[in-house]
């Protein structure tokens, strides 16, 4: 049984650490592993923000159940479709067949292309809001940070932003998820490597394709 990691009273981290993969995207070395980050916003309606790599679906489900027990999930918000975020979507749908998947137009196109999912989807646009009860989700489109469908989700009342890969890093999360629970300095080199190889280079490609090829 897992002890839920609380971010706030109603927001929980249910992501996982991957200490076995050697190369991220089969290209970038992972000397300190990597984490796949997912969160639950628990309210009258419950939302799950992103999923994890498919290799960790079982562990992911056990972590979700440690927070929700037998309670269902109303919404899955897909901020990013890269498989380290979206890989467990099919698994999740098989366990929660009534879950509604929230994404933008490009997300839903990719959802169909990647996983053949077209039912129970909700399309959102920039600045759209969705009420869960006492919490409100706001959606902001952030294309090419670092894929075309990328968006961010902000919980207004909790002042919490789920920022997809924008402020990501390589390295596992060992023992906590907040800066106050970790040693941010330990991640400095991996943050720079992540930004320069994963986020920055593709941002440059989107704006200067003739220069970066
Ligand atoms: Fe990504």
CA 83 to ligand 1 center in whole angstroms: 8
Q: Which residues is 16 bridged to in the sheet?
A: 36
User: Please, which pLDDT band fits residue 200 given cuts at 50, 70 and 90?
Assistant: confident
The CATH code of the domain that includes 182 is 3.60.15.10
212 assigned to some structural domain: no
40 assigned to some structural domain: yes
Q: How far apart are CA 14 and CA 106, in angstroms?
A: 25
CA 146 to ligand 1 center in whole angstroms: 6
Question: pTM of the predicted model, to two decimals?
Answer: 0.92
- Domain range for 180 is 5-207
108 assigned to some structural domain: yes
- Write out pLDDT tens, residues 175-199: 789 989 999 999 999 999 999 998 8
- Write out pLDDT tens, residues 10-49: 999 999 999 999 999 899 999 999 999 999 999 999 999 9
CA 130 to ligand 1 center in whole angstroms: 24
Per the document, the length of the chain is: 213
Q: Is residue 153 over pLDDT 50?
A: yes
Q: How far apart are CA 39 and CA 63, in angstroms?
A: 10
* Residue 33: per-residue pLDDT: 97
77 assigned to some structural domain: yes
61 assigned to some structural domain: yes
Give 24's Cβ-side CA count (13 Å radius). Answer: 23
CA 198 to ligand 1 center in whole angstroms: 7
Tally the domains of the chain: 1
CA 134 to ligand 1 center in whole angstroms: 30
Q: 3-class secondary structure for 94-154?
A: HHCCCCEEEECHHHHHHHHHHHCCCCCEEECCCCCEEECCCCEEEEEECCCCCCCCCEEEE
Specify whether the CB–CB gap between 26 and 89 falls below 8 A: no
Least confident interval from 4-8, 57-61, 98-102: 4-8
* Residue 119: per-residue pLDDT: 97
CA 151 to ligand 1 center in whole angstroms: 11
CA 29 to ligand 1 center in whole angstroms: 15
């Amino acid at each position: 049984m897992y002890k839920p990691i609380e971010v706030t009273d109603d927001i929980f981290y249910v992501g996982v650490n991957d200490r076995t993969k050697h190369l991220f995207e089969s290209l970038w070395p992972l000397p300190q592993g990597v984490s796949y980050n997912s969160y639950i916003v628990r309210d009258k309606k419950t939302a799950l923000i992103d999923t994890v790599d498919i290799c960790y679906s079982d562990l992911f489900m056990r972590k979700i159940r440690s927070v929700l027990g037998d309670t269902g999930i109303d919404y899955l918000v897909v901020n990013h479709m890269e498989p380290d975020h979206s890989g467990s979507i099919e698994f999740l749908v098989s366990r929660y067949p009534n879950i509604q998947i929230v994404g933008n137009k490009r997300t839903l196109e990719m959802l169909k292309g990647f996983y053949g999912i077209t039912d129970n989807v909700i399309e959102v646009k920039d600045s759209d809001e969705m009420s869960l009860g006492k919490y409100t989700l706001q959606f902001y489109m952030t294309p090419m940070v670092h894929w075309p469908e990328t968006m961010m989700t902000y919980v207004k009342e909790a002042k919490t932003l789920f920022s997809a890969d924008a402020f990501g890093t390589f390295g596992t999360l060992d023992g906590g998820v907040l800066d106050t629970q970790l040693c941010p300095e330990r991640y400095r080199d991996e943050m720079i490597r992540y930004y320069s190889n994963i986020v920055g280079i593709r941002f440059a490609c989107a704006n200067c394709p003739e220069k970066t090829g």
